[in-house]
Amino acid sequence: MTLLVDGLAAALAVVVAVLAPLAAAAVDGRDRDGARAPLVIAARRLMLPAGALAAIALWLPAGVGAALLTLPYAIACALVGLHGLGRLAARGGRGPAEVATAAGLVLWPGGALWLLAHRAGVDLLGYPPLWVGLTAAHFHVAGAFLPIIVGRAVVGRGRIAGAVAIVAVLAVPLTAAGIAGPRWLEQAAALTMAAAGLGSALVLLTTRGALARLAGAALLVTMVLAAQYASRGWIAPLRLGELDALTTMLVAHGALNLLGVALPGLLATARAGALPGHDRPPLSRVRGRAHVGPRFFDDQQVGAPRGLVDDLAALGHAGLDAAAVAPAIRAFYQRTADHDLVVRPSWRRGFRAGARLWQRVGRRLGQLDLPTDAERGDEGITSRIVGLDPARDGRRDPRAWIRQYADGRAMYVAAYATHAHAGRAYMNIAFPLPGGSMTSVLRMDHLGAGVRVSTQVGGDAGIYYVARLGRWTAPLRLPLSEIIDVWTAHDPAAPADLRAATPPGFTTIARHRVWLCGVRFVTLDYAMRPRGG
């Protein structure tokens, strides 16, 4: 038992003092512009000294003193976990590599929690001290480090390798559930863990670089050792000298996982260049209050633009020749404030009651107070465009579009900007909401003689809720999407019912569809005309 206790302390010391700082360095927190996320900056600065303190605590008697020395490490891991949550929320749909990397970061604080309990002398979930420590080591290596290593290794490797990364993510939480759950769940968890280990070993063995292949070979050996121990009822288990089978398995399995898998695997990850931490579009710094209202931007107005863009060419790219867009459509986007606009909503059955409820919320909030009935055209809705201070908004050349009802209520208040990335241009719209904003990023493409503006085109496109607390930003990708199709009023390609319902004198029409979890819940039909037309 003394050998196990001392061996566990040595193993955990390697985890917190060597592997944890290496893993923090291997996971890059920089965004596409090179700026590093504040949480990553704090975690990386804290991880090395905090890991050293935690390593010292492992050789002290369990209790308050050892727990206090371990606490800074737990805080550093919590910062890493929060960063992982942000990545998972913002980029979780961008493939197995990102899911595995982010999930490894999210599970990392779980290992720190078990370590803190071990040093405090707490029998977490009723486990004795030795098994609390072993669980801490397992959470670190299998729960955090392995998904980070495999996540980087599967980049560009296809669906099978991606599936291995996902199984590696599921294995540890499923194992935790299996311990406390029924026998069948425990068996399923054991099979999942075996599949994750075997698949990860094969991925690493077929990855370029000696370090990755060394990690793969060592992982394959540890899986054989684990399988041999699990089948000890049929096969004589391995024994090292006078050690019993369990001690042999823990010593050999643990040492190989730490020094043969995690160490070279994390070194390989760092050398390969980790996945960027935040490959996300530029986001407005706007942060709404409890009430937004039409005067929200009054204290940050700069200049007096006339349209959502000064020139539609700002949204041009390989899929959009702005000069070829119909003059009436270009005029609307470039001189928005000079246009009258009416809207006719059509709510899907089952959603109208929710729309009326939201309308009450929107009126109190002073934001997104969308109509539930068609506008007649004589409601006196006003529309104005105001320039915004780029230093406060954080994006290039922002401007606000404010639409008000005749009684002064805001229909909606939004900050518009554009940005380009990877050869594509996007419209970037932030709606101030309490604690942050809802941001919709759309790309404009040709639609016959009209245009389509959509969040369903990949790249940067999507809808986020962006929470802000000081400098800390947490974008959460929402299960919402939208498409706005725009035509001239007499374009034969436009829907016949939309053309038939267009009032006389209106030059441009649009159909705006919005989906929630893949279900279209509202369609907004617009008609626009130059003021005085």
pLDDT tens-place string over residues 217-237:
998 888 777 666 555 556 666
Instruction: Give pLDDT tens digits for 370-391.
Output: 777 765 554 567 888 999 999 8
Ramachandran angles phi, psi of 27, nearest 5°: -95, 105
Q: Cα–Cα distance between 372 and 385 in angstroms, integer?
A: 24
More confident residue, 487 or 504: 487
Model pTM?
A: 0.68
Instruction: Give pLDDT tens digits for 87-103.
Output: 777 655 567 888 888 88
DSSP string, 379-430: S--EEEEEEB-HHHH-SSS-EEEEEE-TTS-EEEEEEEEEEEETTEEEEEEE
pLDDT band at residue 126 under the 50/70/90 scheme = confident
pLDDT score, position 277:
53
Instruction: Give pLDDT tens digits for 300-321.
Output: 888 889 999 999 999 999 889 9
Q: Cα–Cα distance between 451 and 36 in angstroms, integer?
A: 36
How are beta strands 424-433 and 519-530 bridged, if at all?
unpaired
Weakest mean pLDDT among 116-120, 239-243, 512-516? 239-243
Ramachandran angles phi, psi of 434, nearest 5°: -55, 125
Q: Cα–Cα distance between 62 and 65 in angstroms, integer?
A: 8
Q: At what angle do helices 38-57 and 96-120 cross, to 10 degrees?
A: 40
More confident residue, 5 or 345: 345
- For 510, counting Cβ atoms within 10 Å of its Cβ (0-12 exposed, 13-18 middle, 19+ buried), the class is buried
Candidates 321, 337, 511, 308; CA nearest to 415 is 308
pLDDT score, position 510:
95
Task: Tell me how many degrees the CA angle 367-368-372 measures, rounded to the nearest 5.
Answer: 135
Beta bridge mates, 439: 430, 464
pLDDT score, position 297:
92
Average pLDDT, the chain: 84
pLDDT band at residue 252 under the 50/70/90 scheme = low
- For 418, counting Cβ atoms within 10 Å of its Cβ (0-12 exposed, 13-18 middle, 19+ buried), the class is buried
Instruction: Give pLDDT tens digits for 381-428.
Output: 788 899 999 988 989 999 999 988 878 888 889 999 999 988 889 999
